[in-house]
Amino acid sequence: MNIDLYGFGPALAAGTLMTVKLALCALALGLVLGLLGALAKTSPYKPLQWLGGFYSTLVRGVPELLWVLLIYFGTVSLMNRLGEALNMPGLELNAFAAGVIALGLCFGAYATEVFRGAILAIPKGHREAGLALGLSKGRIFSKLILPQMWRIALPGLGNLFMILMKDTALVSVIGLEEIMRHSQIAVTVSKQPFTFYMVAAFIYLGLTIIAMTGMHFMEKRAARGFARANQ
């Protein structure tokens, strides 16, 4: 195998950067959506419960690739109309934005269940203690529930992030220049498909290892002060 990758090394590095950017942006959107979904699902109001359930069931039942395609191609007419209304002709969703929305949506649907489990795992007494201290509902959530949820939800979110990072490859289908897209371009020039897709595979493996290491330290930090029962 050629070490200089036929001059495509810098392009692949740029693709890796794009993949990381895409994954982190989708993660941010997904965390917000997941938290909102979990709050909706655990709220005492029926319509909100129904909405949260509808979101997580619908999004989890349809392939990620279909969401990417639907959001990229399906919003063209919508964005056109919006562009006319805002007097900005030619308004469109670029591949990066569509990818962030689609992957964030899918991450959020799974994160909804992870966060919901975390909320349910916090003893009822903690909330009641907050009420007894005269804290408002919002403060109970932000000061009591949310910090404790983090430790419980972290392993589940870590798994979801690994899945998300691999799903970023799907966005190459709508032309975003991340690792896969750059590999495809390199293949058309060099006629060495196996070499370049193998390089792409090893970049993803490297990213996974980095994410795994990061998760390990975050979990260790989040679990400080908690003794493990089985050790």
Residues at the contact surface with another protein, assessed by CB under 8 A: 58, 61-66, 69-70, 73-74, 76-77, 166-170, 172-173, 180, 183-184, 187, 191-195, 197-198, 200-201, 204-205, 208-209
Q: Shortest distance, CB of residue 126 to another protein, whole angstroms? A: 27
Residue whose CB is less far from another protein, 150 or 202: 202
Residue whose CB is less far from another protein, 110 or 149: 110
Residue whose CB is less far from another protein, 63 or 147: 63
Q: Shortest distance, CB of residue 141 to another protein, whole angstroms? A: 30
Longest dimension (CA), the chain: 70
Q: Shortest distance, CB of residue 147 to another protein, whole angstroms? A: 30
Q: Shortest distance, CB of residue 135 to another protein, whole angstroms? A: 38
Residue 116 one-letter amino acid: R
